[in-house]
Structure 1
Amino acid sequence: MTMIVRDFRPADAEAVAAARRSAFPYLVTTAETVTWEVAGAPAERQYRLLVAEVDGQVVGSSEIGVFHESEEPGLAFANTSVRTDTLGRGVGSALVTAAEEWLAGLGAAKIFAWTVEAPHAVTFAERRGYRRGRSSRVQRLDLTTAALPPLDPHGLPDGVELRTAADFLNDPRPLYEADVECTEDEPDDVPAGRLPYDQWITLTWEHPSLDRELTTVAVVDGTVAAYSVAHTDGRGSYWSGMTGTLRAFRGRGLAKLAKNDALHRARAAGCREAFTGNDGDNQPMLAINKWFGYEPAVTEWRYVRELAA
């Protein structure tokens, strides 16, 4: 077996996407998103995509970089995917070793990495000195059989209107302001500052998997109050990128309204599976997704290694 680790080339995009889908079947990822991530990453992120090639075939990758938006310096990430039919051949070790060496050279003090709760993945991380942090619960809803709450035939509450992200093409800033506020309240291991508008446009609004027609926005008396983001892959999968309600509008069921509308739109558009991920401590969203009928799919853990130690 001949294996090399090298930098990503555009021709690798489909193989990298296939490896990610093999390792994390619930992710919405395509060759287009892989290419976009490399080309569109802010310079401050120091983003790099490594691939592992075995006997001339790309079978895994590791996306690495720094949390440039973090208020704490020295935080980096290295998320590795290996095609499941090539596990146990040293591919993951080669990728992670290369990633750690490069990030250490950038002065990283901590490296964060997501992994699934599976014996081989947990053992791999802990043997390399990573310790377990926060969890994310990935859930699945079969849209072909799900008994979604019917759309209210009697209309919406007074002052409430449901729109789509496509209605904000001329001015997405209200969605930016809503997303920034809701993201600030998300539990996370990495303290982040406010993402600048231009970077939000690049990283969120222009994401190739963002489906603006399926992304629902609840507007109250003309003000964005809640939203449910839809990412799709053209293969029948739908991922809830984020569902949030602004602080001033919480407790009124607007997140449920937005998400229900988005799920109905997704099913009508031909999506067969809906996935979502919630922090293990985010009880409000876990309860909402259970109410919709989502079932547990897998638990992810965020591991961290302190390089100085």
Structure 2
Amino acid sequence: MSTTTTPPMQIVQGAIAAHAHACMVAAVPATFRCDYEYPSPFEILHFDTDLRDAGVPIRRWILGDATDPLATAFCFRATWNTPRHTFWGHVRVRPDVMGHGYGQILVRAIEHWAATAGAQAVRLMAHPEPRHQVFLEQAGYRHIGTEQIYRVALDSITVPQRPTPTDIHILTLAEYMQREPDAIEHACMLHAAISLDVPMPDEPVVTLSKFRRLLGEEVDPNCFLIAFSGDMLVGESILMESDSEAGVMWQHATGVLPAFRGLGIATSLKRAAIQLAQSRDTRILKTWMETSNAAIVRINNEFGFQVVDADGATIHIYEHLLKHGVGTRY
């Protein structure tokens, strides 16, 4: 006769959390990672510190030994365009120990902690595998949205010809920095405002120090496009070279401030981004889109973007309502 003992669940933070979670994520192919999963302790430490410095509650858990965890989970309060009191989380279980109930243990830990931190709903991410869907539905979650990769081949693209809106002009951040001593501060303010209204921002919290770090490590100011209305910064779009595919660029964070929408600025930014990518000998332009964002889906369709049908190109979003500290089924 044999018995199975559930490994201990630990609440972790700091270096221990960073190393344990990075260990788990690093074993996962990049295409199957979800948002806010990072393969290096350095990135996780920065992510958690930025949230805590901004007063955003975040917690991490592990099951098993911190040096070789069987499962990990994290949860934090969403800072962007979601209903108030929504928390964002993710659970990852090592493939060789799936089916032992570890995922359920961590999901319930997320729900109970989120409820004590003020949550009314928890959202989780999952790739479209049947076992993930069944697990989340049995746990009382319902599918509410999808993130999808789209792509367009730049050698065959037909760019819609529309006049640029009156009084709108577009510069790169590098060009703006040559004209304005406080350009980085102004661009940071714009990026922070737009991130609040993006369904899934790359950075849940935008601070000036983090923005400067972003420019120093990941984003080339020559690939950061800013739309101006007169002397006001009103929109942005960011291009980044692919880390794994030659001749491929990713378009991030295309957005316009709410008071300036409906003027064709997003379309002008999209056109400028494509022209910039072409000038850098880019073959393919890719972007992630939240499929419920009808306006940006329409614009990308006009420019010929098509759904990518490949492993890791789709992430589903599930939601679970909380009441009295426990989940409420729909």
Amino acid in structure 1 at the alignment position of 2:46: W
Distance in 2 (CA, whole Å) between partners of 1:130 and 1:71 is 17
Within a 5 Å distance, the mapping from 1:3-152 to structure 2 comes to: 5-6=9-10, 7=12, 8-12=16-20, 13=22, 15-19=24-28, 21=30, 23-24=32-33, 29-31=38-40, 32-43=42-53, 44-52=55-63, 57-58=68-69, 60-67=71-78, 74-82=85-93, 87-133=98-144, 135-141=145-151, 147-149=156-158
Distance in 2 (CA, whole Å) between partners of 1:244 and 1:73 is 21
Normalised by the length of structure 2, the TM-score is 0.67
TM-superposed deviation, 1:10:
3.5
TM-superposed deviation, 1:172:
3.6
Select between 216-225 and 178-187 the one with higher mean Cα deviation.
178-187
TM-superposed deviation, 1:141:
1.3
- 8 A Cα contact 2:25 2:33, kept in partner: no
Greater Rg over alpha carbons, structure: 2
Structure 2 gap ranges (5+) = 308-312
TM-superposed deviation, 1:89:
5.0
Shift of the 146–275 alpha-carbon distance from structure 1 to 2, 3 Å rule, reads farther
Distance in 2 (CA, whole Å) between partners of 1:127 and 1:215 is 43
Give the corresponding residue for 2:173.
165
Aligned residue pair count: 296
Indicate the SS of the match to 1:306: strand
Give the corresponding residue for 1:221.
230
CA RMSD of aligned residues (A): 4.4
Shift of the 83–221 alpha-carbon distance from structure 1 to 2, 3 Å rule, reads farther
Distance in 2 (CA, whole Å) between partners of 1:68 and 1:230 is 23
Distance in 2 (CA, whole Å) between partners of 1:275 and 1:112 is 22
Tell me whether 1:291 sits opposite 2:298 in the alignment.
no
Indicate the SS of the match to 1:61: strand
- 8 A Cα contact 1:26 1:275, kept in partner: no
Structure 1 gap ranges (5+) = 189-194
Distance in 1 (CA, whole Å) between partners of 2:238 and 2:77 is 25
- 8 A Cα contact 2:165 2:263, kept in partner: no
Tell me whether 1:274 sits opposite 2:286 in the alignment.
yes
Amino acid in structure 2 at the alignment position of 1:294: F
